[in-house]
A and B are shown apart, each in its own frame.
Chain A
């Protein structure tokens, strides 16, 4: 391990100070730690070292060494290597660390590697219980987040259809992650796709390939209730029995009009953009909720219920 780290520190020091693309041959003959290796061993070693650099987040690019582009060499652009100083205090660093221990993504708490990049902090080992889990698809999430922060297009399949998205943002709401933005072929409409329903998600193309509209807020693209996410526009009236009125009240959003009857039951007028999701929600009340109107929505519910 010692030899590997020495070699990589030497390689990195060389690349960071070279200020020009350096060819693999030059690295082999110049950087301490590579000279003794034979051809095959050198190639394997160098591949492994490049892989390690990239895993740590070190940008390693291949660029032509001259205008004729005959030869290519490696560059670590200093601006992309360095983390701009966020100006965090020790207290703020410790708060970030604690949050990452309590709220997890993908089950495992993160190691302190990210915190060391931010300058470390006196850490207290935390015995806090797991308070929240933001889902298990850590790989897809990281890929989507990279695309959002680098402004690269995102390709994936969704319900069997291939999509190319300009990922303006990433939102976690009601237990699900959504990637938000317009499709490349129709850039006027902002859409939200549930990350756990995407297939083969991958960032493609170059960075900074789109600009977010001024004042864009990713959270606005995700409706408050599932039945608000859709293309239709139906105004439904629903009766909720007194026994379940409390549960209905908790889930009805600001847009609904609710009147309470003398017996404690509710009549609610609700705007529905996604009737399928709405029917699913109403069915969770068993026979304690009835759609009063419109008749078409009643029929759709009964069709879903099927014959007894």
Chain B
């Protein structure tokens, strides 16, 4: 019996070896298409973002491939919003022969993968990882979304300009770079703008269920507006508990709030009046946006959020840059990397998340944010 088992194991190992050989042989068939890869949470708490990015990137790739001309070969791997898994997923993509990258969808994993793509000289344009650490000090890492600091200061500016409130509260997540980055610049900008931060409370993983204390603190200090730089899952709990506590300030979120309306079973009336800064509005009458929203809805049965829009723009921005640089798919990742570093800061791109976007050579994008308010379960643009 033991002998049979040994032989069986040996056979399995040999097959494994052979299989390894098979996949490491260079794939020559797809030299006509650029291998575009990315990682994001397709499962896990942040799955809504990863899937949005993957779906929208698929639509963009389909459209571009259907035009003839430049072709993309897209592969998207799951990282469950975990830095270690993101690096594993990135290695899978590298083995596959990825030439250009969409980075990672969320900030923490993207900080890990951006270090890898930087070292491996693979150009990356992340649709949505907004922390500064993703791009800082890395010449080949670019962002389609705003960086966290700019989200924080833009929010404070908007609140002050519109006179929404003079006393504000912030609830932020102290073990999350995304939340902390936005919080720090928000507080700095708020004091410059003459806003008074009357309540400043935090939460962390494992302590993110009960918000009664944070809400009571904001309420008892008379905050007229509560700023929530966090993802929608925690925000939904805050909104629910605040309604039980009978507290109804102005709620102000950033791009992580996007997704709250599609949360399964969430009473969207609780999100009524929530404001958020996002560069994308699915109800926009812009022709390009309308076409994208229609296609996304037909294919996936839901309205695309800002992450989807950013991903859609990423693929088109790549198309524009690759064409402008005169690149071809048989170039190595490193050659493409050098071309993209030169091309991105020189071009101006019109997409669904903004017109006339430009990039500075540090990898950050400049585009105008739009403020939306949730009314009757949809985003309405605040003019």
| A joins B in a complex | no
Interface residues, chain A, with chain B CB atoms under 8 Å away: none
